[in-house]
Amino acid sequence: MANDETSTPGLGIALGGGAFRGAVHPGALKALEEEGLQPNFLSGTSAGAMVAAFYAFGTPPEKIRELAHKLRWLRISSFTLPKLGLLSNVEIGNFMEKHLGDVLLENALIPIALVAADIRTGERVVFKTGSVAEAVMASTCIPGVFTPVEVDGRLLVDGAIVENVPVSVLNEMGARVSVAIDLGSGRYRTPQGIVEVLLNAFAIAVDQTTSRQTESADVLIRPDLTGYSLMDSGNSAKLYAEGFRSATHAAEVIHKATKDAEPSSWETLEQRFRKWLKA
C-alpha cells in the first residue's frame, strides 16, 4: 500500500474496465508493490474504478481479489423493469459501503479519480471528491444493462464509453509517468445469455477507441485474456495471477520510465528556490 514515504514519485496507474476481468488489477498492483513501484496517483473506470477505490483506501491486493471472487454480479444487482436498463446498480454502491464504509474520495490515502459518462451529453465526468460508493456505482453502470445513476441532475453511466483506461486523467492529476492496464485484449468467450451478449458487444465497441487512447501512456500492460468471460467470478485466482505475471514483466520498463522522468538537479533546485520565494 502506497504512502508518501513508499510511493514512486510521479507514478500514476490507470485501471481499465472489463467486468470480472478486473481481478487482473489487484494481481498487477501486488506485483508492482513487490517491485517497489507504488503509485502517487490512481484512476479507474468501471471494474477498474472499483479496484482503484479499494486500493486507494488501503485494502491489500489479496483482499481485493477475495472480494472479486465473492462478488456475484447478478445477485447483488437488483432486477427491475425500468425503461432505461435491465438491472439496478444500487447494490454495487451498497457493496462498496459494506466493505469500505461511507467514505469520500478526497480522503483516500492515494489521490484517486474515477470516470463515468453523462448519457445525455456524452461528456466525461471525473469524480475526485464526494461519495466513493456513488462514484463507483456510476462508473460501473453499463448502459443497457444497468439503469443510469443520477448524480447532481446528470444521468451517468459506465465511463468506458468515453475513456475505458483513463490515462489522460492521470496526466491531469500531475503524473509524470503513466501506466495503463488494459483488460480488452484477446477474444471474448461465446456468450451464454442476453446480459453477456450485451457485455461482449459493449466491450468490443469500447476496445476500438481504447487502443487509441492508451497510446499516450508511458507503459501499457495488456495481458492476453482470451477465453476469460466478462461475467465469471470463478476465474479470479487465474486472472489475479495473469495480472501479477504481466506487471512483473513490465516492471523493468516502468522503473526506467520513472528514472527518466525524475527532475534534474537544476529543476529540483529551481523548485526549491520558487518555494523559498513564496515563503
pTM of the model: 0.86
pLDDT digits (tens, 9 = 90+) for 256-279: 999 988 765 445 445 545 655 555
How far apart (Å, rounded) are the C-alpha atoms in residues 239 and 237? Answer: 5
Ranking 33-37, 50-54, 143-147, 237-241 by mean pLDDT, the lowest is: 143-147
For each of the domains in the chain, give its residue range(s) and CATH number, in order of start: 11-278 (3.40.1090.10)
**Helix runs in the chain, H state only:** 24-34, 47-56, 61-70, 73-76, 90-100, 132-139, 160-163, 167-173, 194-213, 236-260, 265-278
The mean predicted confidence, pLDDT, of the chain is: 86
**Helix runs in 71-116, H state only:** 73-76, 90-100
pLDDT digits (tens, 9 = 90+) for 73-101: 555 455 455 555 567 778 889 899 999 99
How far apart (Å, rounded) are the C-alpha atoms in residues 98 and 115? Answer: 22
Which residues are known to be catalytic? 46, 158
In terms of C-beta density within 10 A (0-12 exposed, 13-18 middle, 19 or more buried), how is residue 261 classed?
A: middle
pLDDT digits (tens, 9 = 90+) for 176-234: 999 999 998 766 677 777 777 877 787 787 877 888 889 999 999 999 898 887 777 77
**Which is more confidently placed, 245 or 71?**
245
73-80 CB contacts, 8 Å cutoff, 24+ apart: 73/19, 73/20, 73/231, 73/233, 74/195, 74/231, 77/146, 80/147
Contact assessment for residue 13 and residue 179, using Cβ atoms and an 8 Å cutoff: yes
